[in-house]
Structure 1
C-alpha cells in the first residue's frame, strides 16, 4: 500500500491541532472517514479535507508535506507506525508518544517530545526550547525513547527529564538538563550557561568543555569509563557525525548539582584541556 500523504493546501491564520492524525487512531478508517475528521483550529474546527489534499491508503505510514509553524501536536500519544514530515512545523511534536518513529526534515518548535515514553524522534534540523522537557504544571519531562537532533536545540533541553536519551549533534541553549531526574543527554556542540541547574541524577555527555559550570558541581578528576563504549552503540544511528574515537578517551567527570541530592554527572569527553 502507498503511504497516506497529507499535503497542506491553505495558509493558516491560527494554530492547528493534528493530534487526531496518528496511525493508531486512523487504523480501520476509510479515506472518506479520515477526510471528515475535525481538527481544532483556534476556537473552531476544520475538517481534514479543508486543510490538506490527501492521497494513499496506508494508515500506518503517514507523510506530512507542509512547511508551517502553526501545525502542532503531530504524533501526539502515538502508539506505533511511522510518521514522516517534510518542512518545519510547530510545537509539541511527539507529545506523550509511546511507540513508533517520527522523522522530520525541518525544524520543530517548543516542547518537542514532551512527556514522551517510547519510540524514536529523528529531527533533521533544529529543535526549539524545552526539548524533552516537562510541560507547565507537570513534574516529569520525557520518560523514555530516543530523540536525535542533527542541528541545534534551544533552551532548557531535558528539563525534568525522567528517562530516555536525547542526542544533539549541534549546540544547546541555557539551562540544559535543568532539574533532570534521570536519563541521558549527549551534546556534541557548545552548551549554554547554567548547565545542570538543579540536576538530581542522570548523565550529561559533552564533547567540548562547557563555557560556564555551576559552582555546585564537584570536579571528580579524569576517568576511563568502560560503560561509554557500550553506550556508544545506543548513540549510533545512520549517517551519524559523532566521532567514535571520543568514546575510548578519558573523560573529566563532574558530580552535582550538590545544591540538590547531587547524584547527577557531567562527563566531558577528552577531559579538560
Structure 2
C-alpha cells in the first residue's frame, strides 16, 4: 500500500489544528470518512478534502506535502505509525506523542515535542522555542522518547523536561535546560544565556562552554567511560552525536540556587 498522502492545495488565512490527521485516529476510517473530517479555519469549518488533496491508502504511513507553518499539531497524541512532513510545520509538532515516528523535513514553530511521552521525532531544519517543554498549566514537559534536531533550536529547549533524549546538532537559544527535572539534552553548537537556569536534575552535553551563572559549579575534569556506550547507542538515529568518541569531560553541577543536582558535561575533544 502507498502512504496516505495529504497535499495542501488551499491558501490558508489562519492556522489549523491537524491533530485529527494521524495514524491513530485514521486507522479504522474509510476514505470517505477521512475526507469528511472537519477542521476549524477561523470562524468556519472545512472538510479536510477542501484543504488537502488526498491520495494513497496506508493510514499507518501518512505523508504531508506542500506544507507550511500554518499546520499546527501535526502528529499530536498519536500512538502508532509514521508521519512524514515534506516541508515546514507549525507549532506543537508531535504534541503529546505516545508512540510512533514523526519526520519533518523542514522547519517547525514553537513547542515541538511538547508533553511528549515516547516515540521518535526528527526535525531536519530548525525548530522554535520550548522544544520538549510543558504546555501551559503543566509542571512536567517531555516525559520520554527521542528528539533529533539537525538545525538550531530556539529558547528554553527542554524546559521542565522530565525524561527522554533531545539531541540538537546546531545551536540552542537562551535558557536551555531551564527548570529541567531529568533526562538528557545534547547540543553540538552554541547555547545562549542562562543555561540550566533552575535545573534540578538531568544532563546537558555540550561541545562549547557558555557563560554559566554563579550557581553552576565547576567540579573539574573526569573520564566517564559510559559516554562511549551512550554515543554508540545513538547510531540508529542517524545523528552526528554517534560519531563522538571522547569519554573526557569537564563537569559542572547545579543549579545550586534550587538545590539542583543536574550536570553539564563539556566534551573535551582530543583528550
TM-score normalised by the chain length of structure 1: 0.96
The question of whether the paired residues in 2 share the 8 Å contact of 1:167 and 1:235 is answered with no
- What CA distance in whole angstroms lies between the structure 2 residues aligned with 1:56 and 1:224? 52
Contiguous gaps of at least 5 residues in structure 2: none
| 1:11-49 residue CA offsets vs partner (Å, 9 max, x unmatched) | 000111000011011012111110000112223321110
| Number of residues of Structure 1 aligned to a counterpart in Structure 2 | 271
- What CA distance in whole angstroms lies between the structure 2 residues aligned with 1:11 and 1:128? 23
Question: Residues 254 and 138 of structure 1: is their aligned pair in 2 closer, same or farther, counting only changes over 3 Å?
Answer: same
Alignment of 1:188-207 (within 5 A): 188-207=188-207
Tell me the residue number matched to 1:124: 124
The question of whether the paired residues in 1 share the 8 Å contact of 2:235 and 2:242 is answered with no
Paired residue secondary structure (2:28): coil
Tell me the residue number matched to 2:183: 183
Matched, 1:219 2:215: no
- What CA distance in whole angstroms lies between the structure 1 residues aligned with 2:129 and 2:214? 25
Contiguous gaps of at least 5 residues in structure 1: none
Match of 2:256 among 242, 255, 258: 258
Report which stretch shifted further, 188-197 or 37-46: 37-46
Alignment of 1:7-86 (within 5 A): 7-86=7-86
The question of whether the paired residues in 2 share the 8 Å contact of 1:200 and 1:263 is answered with yes
- What CA distance in whole angstroms lies between the structure 2 residues aligned with 1:157 and 1:110? 10
The question of whether the paired residues in 2 share the 8 Å contact of 1:247 and 1:269 is answered with no
Cα distance, 1:186 vs structure 2: 0.3
Cα distance, 1:239 vs structure 2: 4.3
Paired residue secondary structure (1:79): coil
- What CA distance in whole angstroms lies between the structure 2 residues aligned with 1:208 and 1:148? 19
Paired residue secondary structure (2:256): coil
The question of whether the paired residues in 1 share the 8 Å contact of 2:140 and 2:160 is answered with yes
| 1:60-119 residue CA offsets vs partner (Å, 9 max, x unmatched) | 000000231110000010100000000111100000000000001100000000000000
Segments of 4+ moved more than 6 angstroms: none
Tell me the residue number matched to 1:231: 230
TM-score normalised by the chain length of structure 2: 0.96
The question of whether the paired residues in 1 share the 8 Å contact of 2:75 and 2:94 is answered with yes
